[in-house]
Structure 1
Amino acid sequence: MPKPSLIVRKLDPENKETPIQFIESGPIDNKLFFRRNHFSYPSLSQVSYWLPVNGLVNHPKLFSLEEIRMLPSRTVKVVLECAGNKRHFLEPKVYGEQWEKGAISEGYWKGVPLRDILKLAGIKQSAREVLVEGYDSGLRTDTDKIFTFSRSLPLEKAMHPDTLIAYEYNGQPIPFKHGYPLRLIVPQWYAMASVKWIRQISVIGSGFNGPFQSVDYVYYPNKETDADAYPVTIQNVNSTIQKPLNMEILNTGKHLIKGIAWTGKGVITKVEISLDHGKNWSSVEIGEPANHGYGWTSWTYEWSVTKKGEYTIMTRAADSHNRTQPENPFWNQKGYGHNAIDKIWVKVE
């Protein structure tokens, strides 16, 4: 039987989706984990790899990989979702990778809490943010200048015990294409925060304004101007129908509808389904909330259909912070954070 493979959106830099509709359960094997790159892959050597920690610290440090692996570790199950996931479905259309529903994956990440590394260096009182720079770099067409991919975290998020400098994924060294040898993992934030191929960590005393923080990964809600812009951070509550497939032809009888739901705040508390284009809603059976991690929640619904015809199936999720998927997506210039009610169409013959 053929096995699913990544869906290509771009070859250089490599951007590929997880075939989310064919994933039975998590964690996602690294070969099917979505790939999001702004530049070509960097050239790295483990032999000469060191991690500098500098800036507003009392004791600048230079860590070897062996030293990092010897520190107390944590393992967390995390959903990583590209901020542009589902951009393809936004209307009016916006430029950017036209991700459908597969710019999302989940798995177990093992590493050292970033706060432990920072405590060893001693954070100064004037510290405001923690800047993480990757090894990936290249030319930005909007400026004609070369930049490295760099992002900062507010001190509070950087010091969260589950914000990790990770070195393993699903019990194995992080694959090179997903950030080997060290990758930042920031649970509940969109995946742009989880910087790959960490080059250095700097504690800074002001807000970072690099292009991947002040230009990209910013919500611009107005079509003509940049007014009222604000940064992309926490994942929205969301859901995806995995089965049946969109535009699938079904027979009458019983069908198992299944999917996933996830959130960047708290846990999923409810998923509802509509089989009549949103006129009526029913609760579905949801799996155990991800109380011990930040993974997605699987859900199922048994549908008995006796009447032939065309059906619109819709799902909406809610979380423990009273956030619910909206009927319509929040339009913004770059198409981030799409979390409108999920929708597919099927025909019953």
Structure 2
Amino acid sequence: MSNPQDRLHQPTLTTHGIQPENQETPISFLSTNAMSSELFFKRNHFSYPTLTYSNYWLPINGLVSTPKVFSLQEIVKLPSKTIKVALECAGNKRSLFEPKTFGDQWGKGAISQGFWTGVPLTTLLEATGMNANAKEILFEGYDKGKRTDLNNEYSYSRSLPLEKALDPDTIIAYEYNSQPIPFKHGYPLRLIVPNWYGMASVKWIKQISLISSEFKGPYQSVDYVYYPNKENDSGAFPVTTVNVNSTIQQPVDRDIMNTGTHVIKGIAWTGTGKISKVEVSTDQGETWFDAFHEPPNGSYGWSSWTFEWSVYEPGEYTLMSKATDSFGRTQPLEPFWNRKGYGYHAIDQVHVKIE
């Protein structure tokens, strides 16, 4: 049993919004690679939905051979799988963009990970069959509300192309870390889409529909789109796969430290392949050294890394981390700037003072 005193020393979420609730993980102070649901970041577009769990059903309809409505009890009895997944909000690190972009000014904590258990979507679709004309699979959440820019009410809905939807690791999850998914994180059923930004993992699933055309809902055609130009929409393309990225967890930015030996630690992650290398610089990028990082373990989680730094000269230092994945993608010095501030992936930096 945990000591109640220990809870007094636990980190807490940083709040960016109350209505709707948006809070980020205290990423610098995590002591575990599978975090509790209490420290998992929250990203919402609307107020939490009102659901009746005792009468919960999941319809699968549209271009299917046999439309079917699954009960929650039926779903949990089907063959399941558990996968470790890091979910990153597409707006993670938005506050670091220059020039600034509008939207919640997330720091480095709009990312969390743990173990999700659920049924592969393909298993459910085997029971309904698929029409040859189906091109995408649409997921509608119970959360809904009015958008001021479009002056209309919408539910949170997004689609996946068939290739991604039919990946055996795209699951309809009902547990997180071996417990029912907490209500604020999508209970009773949440879509989990490994390697894509978190907006794809629709919470509180209301229904699944197979459709023949490209879905154009606002959370797919207006938001979660990269707009490279500030003044117009030319060159726009959708936000999908997570960029290769890293974060220095310790020391924290603007820390004051003594001379001696310090352990620089952090995490690295990617949406393609695995992390193959993490490099650290302690002289503002002049020289780079390999950090020790966890080898790939077949999951979709992040890789923790450490680097031992011996420093004996007082002064101000810029520490940097740079990750490379098995597809050869490496963090750039400058991020890909886009008007809505998605996918920040530049080399991470913290500034420290040695006394």
- Corresponding position of 1:212: 219
CA distance in structure 1 between the partners assigned to 2:200 and 2:124 by the alignment: 18
Task: Please state how far the C-alpha of 1:119 moved relative to its aligned partner.
Answer: 1.6
Task: Please state how far the C-alpha of 1:312 moved relative to its aligned partner.
Answer: 0.1
- Corresponding position of 1:66: 73
CA distance in structure 2 between the partners assigned to 1:235 and 1:93 by the alignment: 21
Task: Please state how far the C-alpha of 1:45 moved relative to its aligned partner.
Answer: 1.1
Question: Deviating runs (4+, > 6 A) in structure 1?
Answer: none
Task: Please state how far the C-alpha of 1:290 moved relative to its aligned partner.
Answer: 3.4
Match of 1:138 among 134, 145, 150: 145
Task: Please state how far the C-alpha of 1:115 moved relative to its aligned partner.
Answer: 1.0
CA distance in structure 2 between the partners assigned to 1:120 and 1:151 by the alignment: 22
Superposition map of 1:151-170 within 5 A = 151-170=158-177
Indicate the SS of the match to 1:118: helix
- Corresponding position of 1:234: 241
- Corresponding position of 1:297: 303
Indicate the SS of the match to 1:339: coil
Indicate the SS of the match to 2:55: coil
Q: Does 1:245 align with 2:252?
A: yes
- Corresponding position of 1:332: 338
- TM-score, normalised on structure 2? 0.97
- Corresponding position of 1:111: 118
Match of 2:318 among 303, 312, 318: 312
- Corresponding position of 2:190: 183
Answer with 52-61 or 21-30: which moved more: 21-30
CA distance in structure 1 between the partners assigned to 2:200 and 2:132 by the alignment: 24
CA distance in structure 1 between the partners assigned to 2:39 and 2:193 by the alignment: 20
Q: Which one-letter code corresponds to 1:308 in the other structure?
A: P
Deviation sequence 1:89-140 (CA, Å, 0-9, x none)? 0000010000000000000000000111112100010010000000000000
- TM-score, normalised on structure 1? 0.99
Task: Please state how far the C-alpha of 1:219 moved relative to its aligned partner.
Answer: 0.2
CA distance in structure 1 between the partners assigned to 2:42 and 2:322 by the alignment: 26
Task: Please state how far the C-alpha of 1:25 moved relative to its aligned partner.
Answer: 2.2
- Corresponding position of 2:96: 89
Deviation sequence 1:54-81 (CA, Å, 0-9, x none)? 0000000000000000110010000100
- Corresponding position of 1:2: 9
Question: Are the aligned partners of 1:290 and 1:297 in contact in 2 as well (CA < 8 Å)?
Answer: no
Match of 2:271 among 264, 274, 277: 264
Indicate the SS of the match to 2:76: helix
Structure 1 residue ranges without an equivalent (≥5): none
Task: Please state how far the C-alpha of 1:213 moved relative to its aligned partner.
Answer: 0.2
CA distance in structure 1 between the partners assigned to 2:333 and 2:13 by the alignment: 29
CA distance in structure 2 between the partners assigned to 1:116 and 1:22 by the alignment: 38
- Corresponding position of 1:347: 353
CA distance in structure 2 between the partners assigned to 1:326 and 1:290 by the alignment: 25
Q: Which one-letter code corresponds to 1:304 in the other structure?
A: S
Indicate the SS of the match to 2:141: strand
Count of residue correspondences: 348
Q: Which one-letter code corresponds to 1:147 in the other structure?
A: Y
- Corresponding position of 2:87: 80
Task: Please state how far the C-alpha of 1:288 moved relative to its aligned partner.
Answer: 2.1
Deviation sequence 1:153-186 (CA, Å, 0-9, x none)? 0001100000000000000000000000000000
Indicate the SS of the match to 2:65: coil
Answer with 17-26 or 166-175: which moved more: 17-26
Task: Please state how far the C-alpha of 1:52 moved relative to its aligned partner.
Answer: 0.2
Task: Please state how far the C-alpha of 1:345 moved relative to its aligned partner.
Answer: 0.1
Q: Which one-letter code corresponds to 1:67 in the other structure?
A: E
Question: Are the aligned partners of 1:290 and 1:296 in contact in 2 as well (CA < 8 Å)?
Answer: no
CA distance in structure 2 between the partners assigned to 1:3 and 1:268 by the alignment: 29
Task: Please state how far the C-alpha of 1:313 moved relative to its aligned partner.
Answer: 0.1
Q: Does 1:19 align with 2:26?
A: yes
Indicate the SS of the match to 2:59: strand
